[in-house]
């Protein structure tokens, strides 16, 4: 009896309308079209994120003739490839720019995009903090990419998430969505200068608690910095914790220019916990001078 061919389209985790050949190329499906546990986890996560980003993407498509999506710390560009395939491709307009520091990954992503006819998929090789590498993009493309309507960063390592937030704020992105990765910076600061209040100090007396609390505090600060810059912030779970430990999704939608209450809360947090993460560090350490200049250092620095 002939062996029945497995149809991956029947799997609920395979997004409807998605090219099976592209999923295989991304190694999200095996050559036989099966999903292994790792790929299923990744696909679930990205599919879910694309769903949560839908309102932002629809808004960008409604408001801009050529909306620009920028994915920071893109890695193998799973997210970019799916966003293009499921959103920009069917819309027939808009660009997606994947910013990735490792050239071998961005070259792979560019080659894949070319193979699959994703001709509005750009790659920018280099650090997020440099905003964009104009090396092989036209000035117009670089300009569009540097002014994202929607900016994403999925598991951009440690302070790379902060660089992505700086880029979003500096460029005035309408929407921002970050799922932070591991983070160690604030835990180190909590160890070097523990909070003065004994109860606060007890929250981070042990290395493990410092790591967890530092990570929590970092994300609280990220949300407040977005609010301080006029974003309405939602913090939610990306997928159930069984799929990933790094599962906090911070969504921001730009609604105002300035929020004094959020700035006051930030100042209180900095004073109480004596931390100063990359996100708010003053120039010249930050290359984003224009942005930093909009955030009064007297309010936000520890000095
Ligand atoms: C953990 S991977 C996540 C990749 C992808 N977003 C995903 O979820 O599959 C983080 C990626 O961010 C890149 N990265 C880290 N810091 C960066 C920076 N400052 N600028 C650009 N890319 C960076 C790394 O090279 C790596 O490919």
Q: Looking at residue 245, what is its pLDDT?
A: 66
Residue 147 pLDDT class (50, 70, 90 cuts):
confident
Show the CA angle centred on residue 91, arms to residues 88 and 95, nearest 5°: 35
11-20, 150-159, 233-242: least confidently modelled range: 233-242
123 Cβ below 6 A of ligand 1: no
Q: Looking at residue 281, what is its pLDDT?
A: 73
**Tens digits of per-residue pLDDT, 5-23?**
678 888 888 888 888 999 9
Our mutation pick for probing the ligand 1 site, out of 123, 160, 287, counting the most ligand atoms within 8 A of Cβ, is 160
**CB proximity list for 124: less than 8 A, separation 6 or greater:** 97, 98, 99, 100, 106, 132, 133, 137, 142, 145
Report, as an integer, the average pLDDT of 219-232: 95
Query: Average pLDDT, whole number, for the chain?
Result: 84
| Interval between CA 73 and ligand 1 midpoint (Å) | 3
Reported pTM? 0.88
Question: Hey, what CATH class is 46-284 in?
Answer: alpha beta
In three-state secondary structure terms, 51 is: helix
Q: Over pLDDT 90: what percentage of the chain?
A: 57
Q: Looking at residue 65, what is its pLDDT?
A: 95
- Nearest atom of ligand 1 to the alpha carbon of 75: 27
**Tens digits of per-residue pLDDT, 25-47?**
999 888 888 888 888 888 888 88
94 Cβ below 6 A of ligand 1: no
Tokens 């937030």, located at residue: 165
70-84, 142-156, 177-191, 251-265: least confidently modelled range: 142-156
CB 87 within 8 A of CB 59: no
Preceding peptide of 63 cis, ω within 30°: no
162 Cβ below 6 A of ligand 1: no
Residue 272 pLDDT class (50, 70, 90 cuts):
very high
Report, as an integer, the average pLDDT of 247-273: 91
**Tens digits of per-residue pLDDT, 70-125?**
999 999 999 999 999 999 999 999 999 999 999 999 999 999 999 999 999 999 88
Domain boundaries, the chain: 46-284
Question: 297 versus 57: which is more confidently predicted?
Answer: 57
């Amino acid at each position: 009896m002939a062996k029945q061919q497995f149809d991956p389209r029947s799997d609920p985790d395979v997004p409807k309308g998605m090219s099976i050949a592209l999923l295989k190329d991304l190694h999200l499906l095996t050559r036989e079209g099966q999903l292994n546990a790792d790929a299923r986890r990744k696909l679930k996560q990205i599919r879910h994120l694309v769903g949560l980003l839908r309102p932002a993407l629809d808004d960008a498509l409604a408001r801009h003739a050529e909306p620009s999506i920028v994915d920071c710390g893109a890695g193998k560009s799973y997210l970019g490839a799916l966003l293009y395939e499921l959103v920009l491709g069917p819309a027939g307009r808009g660009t997606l720019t994947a910013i990735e520091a490792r050239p071998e990954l961005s070259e792979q992503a560019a080659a894949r995009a070319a193979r699959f006819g994703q001709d509005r998929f750009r790659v920018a090789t280099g650090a997020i903090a440099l905003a964009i590498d104009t090396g092989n993009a036209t000035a117009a493309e670089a300009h569009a990419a540097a002014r994202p309507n929607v900016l994403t960063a999925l598991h951009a390592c440690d302070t790379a998430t902060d660089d992505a937030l700086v880029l979003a704020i500096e460029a005035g992105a309408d929407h921002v969505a970050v799922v932070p990765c591991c983070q160690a910076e604030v835990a180190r600061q909590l160890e070097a200068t523990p909070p003065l209040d004994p109860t606060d100090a007890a929250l981070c007396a042990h290395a493990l608690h410092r790591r967890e609390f530092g990570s929590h505090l970092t994300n609280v600060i990220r949300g407040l910095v977005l609010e301080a810059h006029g974003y309405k912030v939602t913090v939610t779970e990306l997928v159930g914790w069984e799929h990933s430990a790094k599962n906090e999704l911070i969504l921001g939608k730009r609604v105002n220019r300035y929020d004094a209450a959020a700035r006051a809360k930030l100042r209180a947090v900095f004073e109480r916990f004596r931390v100063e993460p990359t996100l708010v560090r003053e120039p010249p350490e930050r290359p984003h001078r224009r942005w930093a200049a909009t955030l009064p250092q007297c309010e936000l620095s520890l000095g």
